[in-house]
Structure 1
């Protein structure tokens, strides 16, 4: 399909691109080596309205269509740092939409508005040491005590976890299984909360990812998002936006890897010929460019369904599966093309090869995507 990008979308793209190329790309290697990027970046994104693209204008959002989110996710790839991209997408497109959709006025004022402004950092507290894909069996509990919940348990793989000001937290408020889960907004200055460990990941090194611990943490019961024990429904809905925006960004990352590799191949010579003149590589890149174009069409088709609120569960699962798996092959071949230069940190492709490995794991594994696709196809 031809995406319905308008002049307004194009203007927004130019704004995001200028910001990414000025504020993000020059620091890509530095922030990976430091294992963190400056907190100030959240504020700068908030000032540009990059967290509230699709959110309610009443709380600092712009109320724009999802094609603007698509533009944002695509342009982030130019920052050459997947960890930064993921942290910023968590803030605007993964942790906060549920507050925008079902939060109370109080929750929107206390949590959503400052997050969209970049004044507070948000994180999504779902996965646990023993419950990643199997979230229906999470063990973190929220026991009702008068007008409060008392929370005990732990969370793992939490992006923005070491410095989040609040979490959208999945807890067990009822019996076993999906029917006993609720979502709450959780301020991290509550007594009994601690960051147990910052994880030393293979990729996404500039993004802080943590194990979190909760010991008798007391929050008001009015911090529940939506109705008690309805959390699993909201989790499944939030996963759709997370998976779609991840797929959009993955397509843009692949396009960038290929363009950089082809550019390198025009400059680098071996045995008296430019690398790009060897047929084996021209054909390999032709295959990848074709596959990436197909991935983009699948993704754009799904964005249009999502924009129309069609709840395209199967298509989003296909986007996540196809783009994540394809990214492994594209990154591998591009790195191979660079030879030794593709194996050193200062070269973007080396870091990209490392970073894309997360795509088949985080936000729902490729195996889970296949299961969802099979189920929605009646198998």
Structure 2
């Protein structure tokens, strides 16, 4: 562990989190993977431990700690081998709650952010639509103002926590003819009439409730607008940097977990009179994979350091997700191969790891879209700036 980024306090936090996860979470993972439903009690336990408030203001029950505590949370969540459980947690804390904290009114923060930190409310972020994912500007969901309310119509899909969350942070067109300059963001309570959700059946992330959401003339108070009207696109773009860095960190952490498991297995597995970690072809393959993982990890730590200082790291966070998720897929694919037939068995962790990892290059912006964003920055000299 690099002392350049982590202090003794960070290490103590990591140890307490590991103990908590082993005691409170790991015994339930197999059940949650089978049912696709995470029991509500665990959310409250996370809240009681302060894990949801790591980066949030003390005013609302948070701890106001630096981003390397977040890195520790993300890394350790990957190492209990349930991408779905990990996603449910970080989608709540760093997708939904990020918008509440950055753009929410004081009333919203007191009623929803504080309850999210304590684990009494669960949130989700609704941007992707059935007709387009990364094309945020092309969204079709609308929120038309009528007096002191907005009338919300449309649909969202691939929403983590989309079925069982208590509230939704929803992006919609308030000025439909204005492209990305006509998007706003709203807080929508799950109890609103006209809101429905359907659970999706996924290849991986089985523990999480990924949903498709429909809004049929949902009437929401104008006070539930987050930030300013028609500035939603810039808010979304600003927070994408954190989301992409999170997915980059997740990727290097699950790759590291896969490698450590494979190394242990290879030290115990015998073939032709010796453990298979003595065969040069496998040793050299491990060397290459471990090098790729470590390079991504160190890069992700450096981007975290810059983001923690307040820099706008959209280029580097995009690179983090692009490279790290590709690396993780390749590492886990090869680690499954190291286990031979056992790698293909559900009783061993690699099969689930492989399925869960495959979402990395898709969610939060596909690798194809990320390459185009990087190309615009490098080739076209496009500048992405924070919302003002």
TM over 0.5, yes or no? Answer: yes
Equivalent residue number for residue 230 of structure 1 = 231
Equivalent residue number for residue 96 of structure 1 = 97
Distance apart, 1:24 and its partner CA: 2.2
1:181 to 175, 180, 183: 183
Equivalent residue number for residue 152 of structure 1 = 153
Secondary structure of the equivalent of 2:52? Answer: coil
Pair 1:108 & 2:86 matched: no
Q: Deviations over 1:237-291 (max 9, x none)?
A: 1211111112112111111100000100111112322121111111111101111
Pair 1:129 & 2:130 matched: yes
Q: Deviations over 1:291-332 (max 9, x none)?
A: 111001110110011011111111101100011000110010
5 Å-filtered alignment, 1:231-250, equals: 231-250=232-251
CA contact (8 A) 1:29 1:345 kept: no
Cα separation, 1, equivalents of 2:182 and 2:240: 18
5 Å-filtered alignment, 1:156-167, equals: 156-167=157-168
CA contact (8 A) 1:29 1:346 kept: no
Cα separation, 2, equivalents of 1:252 and 1:93: 17
Distance apart, 1:123 and its partner CA: 0.4
Equivalent residue number for residue 26 of structure 2 = 25
Equivalent residue number for residue 261 of structure 1 = 262
TM superposition score normalised by structure 2: 0.95
Structure 1 range deviating more: 25-34 or 179-188: 25-34
Equivalent residue number for residue 208 of structure 1 = 209
Aligned alpha-carbon RMSD (Å): 1.2
TM superposition score normalised by structure 1: 0.97
Pair 1:61 & 2:62 matched: yes
5 Å-filtered alignment, 1:75-90, equals: 75-90=76-91
Secondary structure of the equivalent of 1:96? Answer: helix
CA contact (8 A) 1:25 1:81 kept: no
CA contact (8 A) 2:142 2:152 kept: yes
Pair 1:170 & 2:171 matched: yes
Secondary structure of the equivalent of 1:37? Answer: coil
CA contact (8 A) 2:54 2:62 kept: yes
Equivalent residue number for residue 334 of structure 1 = 335
Secondary structure of the equivalent of 2:64? Answer: coil
Cα separation, 2, equivalents of 1:24 and 1:253: 17
CA contact (8 A) 2:5 2:301 kept: no
Distance apart, 1:12 and its partner CA: 1.1
CA contact (8 A) 1:25 1:78 kept: no
Secondary structure of the equivalent of 2:79? Answer: helix
Cα separation, 1, equivalents of 2:5 and 2:351: 34
Distance apart, 1:2 and its partner CA: 5.2
Secondary structure of the equivalent of 2:187? Answer: strand
CA contact (8 A) 1:3 1:300 kept: no
Q: Deviations over 1:194-252 (max 9, x none)?
A: 11x21100000000100111111001011111100000001111211111112112111
Equivalent residue number for residue 384 of structure 2 = none
Cα separation, 1, equivalents of 2:204 and 2:18: 24
Secondary structure of the equivalent of 2:153? Answer: strand
Q: Deviations over 1:160-197 (max 9, x none)?
A: 011111011001101241001000111010011111x2
| Stretches of structure 2 lacking an aligned partner (at least 5 in a row) | 381-388
Cα separation, 2, equivalents of 1:240 and 1:156: 21
5 Å-filtered alignment, 1:262-301, equals: 262-301=263-302
